[in-house]
Amino acid sequence: MNKFNLKDQTAVISGAARGLGLAFAEVLASAGCNIAVLDVVHEPSLALYGLRSQHNIKVKYYIVDITVRDQVMNTVSEIAQDFGRIDININAAGVVIDEPFLTTSDEILQRIFAVNVNGSFFVAQACANAMVERYKSQHGDAPAKDATTGSIIFIASIATYIASTAQQISCYTASKAAIKGLVKPVAMELSPYGIRVNSLSPGYTMTEMMKTLQSKQPDLVKQFEKETLFGRIGLPEEMKGGMLWLCSSEASGWYTGQDLLLDGGATSWKHPAVLT
């Protein structure tokens, strides 16, 4: 039996127009999962639409500002109608701004928390309600014994484990700590409905954002490389396996309320190199 077969399931992924979110969409699509993407970008990567023919799945893109509750609720309701069900939710939309704590403005503070915390909360809440509605229609009020209804994954960060001298991202780190803080209580609340809730904390990963940093601040990326045990930045492909495992109830059905750290060992040792 293929424990990673997600055929006929539907995943709602925020921030998958590109970057890590797109990588997550790719690996779920390879397992037969239908993909619904929420993002503010008007034109997502062509690779997203290519998943349709490549894996014979349904892919639909929804332009939505996840910081606006009504937009999120209406869009997730539309997705439930378009796809017939919601099984998986990955909250990959996020923003990071390199700004010293002493000069962080209200605008930066509000923007980061609006997207990273409020947006993730709104999308997860809407998807969870859709999952609970489906559970109740099938099982009534009987508590679940098998975690087969759904899986919700928040994207946290290596930054919540260790502070790096390479960046000044206290506001971003606080937002990701808030996301991790949601995992255990929400996992407890949703467990009676067979819904698992976890987070994934990526380490330094070569996304489009990191490539931009590499061209503008090469010393910064060199510092990230020095901090990992393998001396290199991680690849989006190296996050796919962990995400697929988290999404598959057949593979990780007893795993909930936890954070999965994929960091190339960067938090496992005291770094000898400091960016000057």
The DSSP output letter for 136 is: H
Domain assignment present for residue 39? The answer is yes
| pLDDT at position 211 | 82
Q: Domain count for the chain, please give it.
A: 1
Crossing angle between the packed helical segments 218-227 and 208-216, to the nearest 10 degrees: 120
Strands 150-155 and 195-202: parallel
Domain assignment present for residue 253? The answer is yes
Sheet containing 59-63: give its strands across: 59-63, 34-39, 10-14, 88-91, 150-155, 195-202, 259-262
157 tagged catalytic = yes
Residue 254 pLDDT class (50, 70, 90 cuts) = very high
| pLDDT at position 274 | 61
Across 1-5, 18-22, 65-69, least confident range: 1-5
Domain assignment present for residue 212? The answer is no
Cα atoms in the 13 Å half-sphere on the side-chain side of 113:
12
Domain assignment present for residue 2? The answer is no
Domain assignment present for residue 229? The answer is no
Domain assignment present for residue 29? The answer is yes
49 tagged catalytic = no
Domain assignment present for residue 223? The answer is no
Residue ranges making up the domain that contains 15:
10-204+235-262
Domain assignment present for residue 218? The answer is no
Q: Which residues sit opposite 14 in a β-bridge?
A: 38, 91
Residue with tokens 């996050």: 239
Q: Which among 157, 175, 199, 252 is annotated as catalytic?
A: 157
Length of the chain: 276
CATH of the domain at 26: 3.40.50.720
pTM of the model: 0.95
